[in-house]
Structure 1
Amino acid sequence: MSALLAAIERFYDAVPRQHADAEDHGPLTLFVRRGDGWPYYARPTLGHRGPLSAEDVAAVRARQRELSIPEAFEWVLETTPGLDAAAEAAGLRVRRCPLLVLRGEPALPDLPEDISVSVITAQDPDLAAAQAVAHVAFGALSTAAGPAGPAERDAAAATLPAGLMAAWHAALVDGTLVHAAARGRGGVLTGPLCVGSYQHAQGVAEIVGVGTLPAARRRGLAAAVTAVLVRHALDAGLRTVFLSAQNDDVARVYERVGFRRVATACIAEPPEREERAEDLDG
């Protein structure tokens, strides 16, 4: 295993422990979130070098069902080869996504004059609207442009669960999550239009949850939000910045910012579970 992938493995093990309890299931570790917030997943136990079987995966799935949490697994294919076959043999569908790492300085794309991009604080008046952007963006079944825009965002903001908002606010306050948004300053597309975050541990940052309202896509907003997050992470002393893209087309958005493909991120879920995009092109 390369030093880079080893650092990413340590990150993957450390970052969920900030808000979750880790259950030991031999070759797999299940992270069970404490309190409200986005649920975690199971992944290979840090340092495990032996094989993983379909029975190992099935045992963790049974525990996830017992806890009423998503039957989700995440790992890096090149670090844990064979887990994809075991997951598929256990009845899961495996998505293989490009894993990219920043090389050099981020390139900040040009933006329309009516768009601004900045880091969001816990006191931001647009906090609920920004969180709602992600719900609308990831609720779309494709990365194509579409009609859903500020009206749908504002409707979603009014119905966000209080517990989820509280957990997100707490993560912004304690600094375990850094959030940024692209906002429209006039016209039909006003307020938060694209959002993204990074989480960090062990000197590594992962860009996550980059999503654009369908009505605001194809304007370079996802690349701009990503570049701002990367700049913030580098200024904070985090020297390894990486992300996983939904597919090759989305990966090309991040390559324009300065990311390069180094490996394959795997996500396994039951086939009946609706697939949602991890990152949406803007």
Structure 2
Amino acid sequence: MATIAELQSYQRKAAARTRITVACPPFYLYIHPTDNFRFLNYAIPDAPVERLGRDDLARLRVAFARQGRLMRFEFIHEYTPQLRGLLEGLGVPAESEAPLLVCTQETWREAAGPAGLEILRLTADSPETYLAAQITVSSRGFGGDGREVNAERIADLRRRLRLGSGHYLALLGGIPVGVGAYTVPVDGFSELVAIATLPAYRRRGIAGALTATIARDLLAAEVRTILLTAADDAASRVYQRAGFGRAGTALAFCEG
């Protein structure tokens, strides 16, 4: 089983593959090159943080502002257990607390979806209609009204696919109903992200089937450890059916 330090290290390495990195000790900022969407931009500690003062926070705030981004942090609580209290003490609002799960070759399990479910693995050469559907379903699946699909967002999706991330589209009766993705595999690690199903198609096993399919593909490609952050305990039970188990706690803090 991978250690917490190895899991946090992988998240830093994977973010650096597709984002601009900005050093601001004891953190690195990971900035999406074109998109200011809050969940795509954040800082991760480069080592366990035991002290953080107002001057440190001011430097971080300036570093984010120079990139035109909100100040936001993502980290594994067990890796740096004092950081949560430090950020709270400095008045940085907590954004989320979620179960961090892990799957390996030994724990993976098949999870069947509904009859007629088709799961497509997208590539940089996939038709624009599929790439556009992936962007739209992802937005609506996470409670948005469908992010605007434009040439820039499609080009960015193709860019990330070429860099080694993976994106999947689930169709039911030919209708796009779910999406999922994984981050660039590094040193035998990868992370499942953005698993989402349209509200009208939930509770049919689509998310579980997507999770199992993506994890199976990664394990077949010699990934040894797959991370996944569940939205909450209820969502984590869906992923447990595909062989994921609790490894830690993912925290996010965001100002603004």
Give TM-score, length-normalised by structure 1: 0.81
Structure-1 residue corresponding to 2:132: 128
User: C-alpha offsets along residues 211-265 of structure 1, whole Å, 9 cap, x if unaligned?
Assistant: 1111111111111111111011111111010111111111111111100101111
Matched position secondary structure for 1:69: coil
From 207, 216, 224, the counterpart of 1:239: 224
1:97 alignment partner in structure 2: 98
Measured in 1, the distance between the counterparts of 2:48 and 2:139 equals 38
For 2:36 and 2:124, locate their aligned partners in 1 and report how far apart those are by CA, in whole Å.
Answer: 16
* Conservation of the 8 A alpha-carbon contact between 1:114 and 1:184: yes
Check 1:112–1:19 CA distance in 2 against 1; reply closer, same or farther (3 A cut). Answer: closer
Instruction: Give the Å deviation of 1:81.
Output: 0.9
Q: Is the 8 A contact 2:52 2:86 kept in 1?
A: yes
Identical pairs, percent: 30
Matches within 5 A, 1:11-22: 11-22=10-21
TM-score (norm 2): 0.88
Gapped runs of 5+ residues in structure 1? 141-151, 274-282
Q: Which residue of 1 aligns with 2:167?
A: 179
Match of 1:4 in 2: 3
The Cα shift of 1:14 comes to 0.9
The letter of the residue matching 1:241 is: I
Aligned to 2:177: 193
Amino acid at match of 1:117: I
Cα gap change, 1:3 to 1:130, in 2 (>3 Å): closer
CA distance in 1, matches of 2:73, 2:89: 14
Point out where structure 2 has 5 or more consecutive residues left out of the alignment: none
1:85-124 per-residue CA deviation (whole Å, 9 max, x = no partner) reads 1111222222221001114242222222221223222333
Judge conservation of contact 1:206–1:241 (CA < 8 Å) in 2: yes
